[in-house]
Amino acid sequence: MKEEPKSYEHVFPNIEDWPIYKLSEDRRNFVREIDGFTLERFMRNPSPQLTDIISKTIYLERIRMKEEPWKVDPPNERQFWRKIRTKLVGQSLDRSEEEARKTNEEILRKIIHRYSEEIVGTFRIGTFLFARRFLTIFFTRLLNTAASRNWQRILGSKHRLADRLLVKGKVEEVRSLIKKGTVVIVPTHFSNLDSILIGYALDAFVGLPSFSYGAGLNLYNTGYTAYFMNRLGAYRVDRRKKNPIYLETLKAMSNLSIQRGVNSLFFPGGTRSRSGSLEKKLKLGLMSTILEAQRALCQKEENTKIFIVPLILSYHFVLEGQFLIEQHLKQIGKERYIRSKDDFHSIRRQLRYAWQFFSESNDITLSFGQPLDVLGNPVDIHGNSYDQHGNEIRIEEYFMSDGKVTEDLQRESEYTKMLGSRIVERYYKDNIVLTSHLVAFAAFEILKNQNSRLDLYGILRLPADDFVFTREAMREVVGQLKSRLIEMSRKDEVKLSEQILWGVDELIRDGVSRLGTYHLAKPLRFRKDGEIVSESFKLLYFYHNRLDNYGLEQAIRWKKYILEMA
């Protein structure tokens, strides 16, 4: 019997109690705090090194302005950096140590403040309430449009959305922990739709206050998008800027906002998964700020704990799949692929994607994984940490030297690596396998074994219309993989959607019908005679990769008759 979706009341009903609102109301002081913190970090360096850092920043910014100008860039951009360069050349180079240091400090103050003002966003209650109403109406109507073209039903239904946006996993734990400390959610990343859906689900389904999250500065190039992003708590991230001063200012913002108790959300993979697989390697830059924030709170003897919650998103199809897999193959292989245009950044395109997704009777599953502390230890619903042997531990002890909590960036760097490894581990264990994942994996493994003499690129060059995945072969391989997945789920090595437990024939029908429904070239489809074919081996490979790194291919017993059936 299907479990009814649970509805949660808001943990903090009064928006004025939300940490992100309080931070926005104190924005001026927060920017000043970032400026001072970042400057202090740089001033630890000797003056010649500061000069090199500033010179490198000027150089990189001049290249950015020339090669990647954006509409959102300030009109005085070139003038600002011209003045900075003039000041550096005239008052820092070939000067005494004391004079150079003073000039470098003045220059750093100006650059850091410019960046911090750019990065820090605001949160407006009115804008948030409007966005909440708009998304609720939008998602509810499009879902009911998919179910029926009767407009009376569209206006009358209130419960369809919860049937399609499926929130599972450690929801009760997350709701409890957000009242006991600061929560940092670290999702997997497959589509530009992720941010909209996660933000909406956290508010409408889980009842959590708004999170601080990074939004690419490119989203601010259009007026209506910039209006909302500027007022919904997003901080701006300009991925064109790779210079050390910008990156340090961005990290300072993350560190200090977490110290202030602002719940945060960022994608530790850094970008959408090009291969379609779950993230294996994470970007540790912003993640390191979590460790620094926890240590700083321990130094202040503040009884505030930071909790990290992995969030795994599962789609039956990804709008950008064709573009993403081509980028992946171009990156890892020697073959030359024509670069597809990635035009999925616009809000309008993402909303069209959402309409198409739900109109095809698809679900999106959000799985909240095991909450962790900043060292990657599991925590219970009360926020207590436990080591690998089940012993309760005190987090502050891991930041101590000679009985005192001390700053040790090298030690915290190692802790960050530990945390990254634990997050990846939870991604795989808390991942919910969908029928589309399973049938795509089975089909591509059949294709590989039928063409075992070819490498990956040789397989992908095969004409798709010449290959048939017979029902017998698919039944056999899917059945074997299903048995292995059930065994793994009993050991808490992965989680399964309820459809995986259906009979094999029904499972295959469901997976093929849902897989890649948006794409013109279907990864898998049924022919009129009931046999299964593919119109794109590249897309089939993309969806196959969702179950990569589980070792499932080793569970398939390649009997001779299976290959003959294929």
Burial of residue 110, with CB atoms counted within 10 A of its CB: 0-12 exposed, 13-18 middle, 19 or more buried? middle
Per-residue pLDDT reduced to its tens digit, 172-212: 999 999 999 999 999 999 987 788 889 889 998 999 999 99
Closest CA to 142 of 129, 133, 130, 151: 151
Burial of residue 378, with CB atoms counted within 10 A of its CB: 0-12 exposed, 13-18 middle, 19 or more buried? middle
pTM score, whole prediction: 0.89
Using alpha carbons only, how large is the chain's radius of gyration in Å?
26
Per-residue pLDDT reduced to its tens digit, 3-31: 555 678 999 999 999 999 999 999 999 99
Closest CA to 368 of 465, 471, 265: 265
Interval 377-398 mean pLDDT: 95
Give the whole-number percent of the chain exceeding pLDDT 70: 86
Give the per-residue pLDDT at 223: 61
pLDDT at 153 over 50: no
Q: Helices then strands (H, E): number in the chain? A: 22, 16
Please state the length of the chain.
Answer: 566
Burial of residue 313, with CB atoms counted within 10 A of its CB: 0-12 exposed, 13-18 middle, 19 or more buried? buried
The letter for the amino acid at 185 is I
Mean pLDDT of the chain, nearest integer: 88
Rounded CA separation 300/405 (Å)? 9
Listed ranges 17-26, 86-95, 229-238; the one with the highest mean pLDDT: 17-26
Specify the 3-state DSSP secondary structure of 184. Answer: strand
Helices 244-259 and 47-67 sit at what angle, rounded to 10 degrees? 100
Distances (CA, A) of 565 to 134, 448, 463, 536, 561: 52, 14, 19, 21, 6
Rounded CA separation 372/384 (Å)? 10
pLDDT at 359 over 60: no
Rounded CA separation 261/71 (Å)? 34
pLDDT at 352 over 60: no
Q: Where are the beta strands (DSSP E) in 448-544?
A: 468-469, 495-496, 525-526, 532-533
Structure tokens at 237: 């991230």
Unique residue bearing structure tokens 């949160």: 123
Give the per-residue pLDDT at 341: 46
Q: Which residues of 117-144 are buried (b: 16+ CB within 10 A; e: fewer)?
A: ebbbbbbbeebbeebeeebeeebbbbbb
Give the per-residue pLDDT at 150: 40
**Contact (Cβ atoms closer than 8 angstroms) between residue 221 and residue 214:** no
Per-residue pLDDT reduced to its tens digit, 494-533: 999 999 999 999 999 999 999 877 788 899 999 998 899 9
Rounded CA separation 329/343 (Å)? 19
Q: Where are the domains of the chain?
A: 19-119, 166-211+263-430, 432-565
Burial of residue 360, with CB atoms counted within 10 A of its CB: 0-12 exposed, 13-18 middle, 19 or more buried? middle
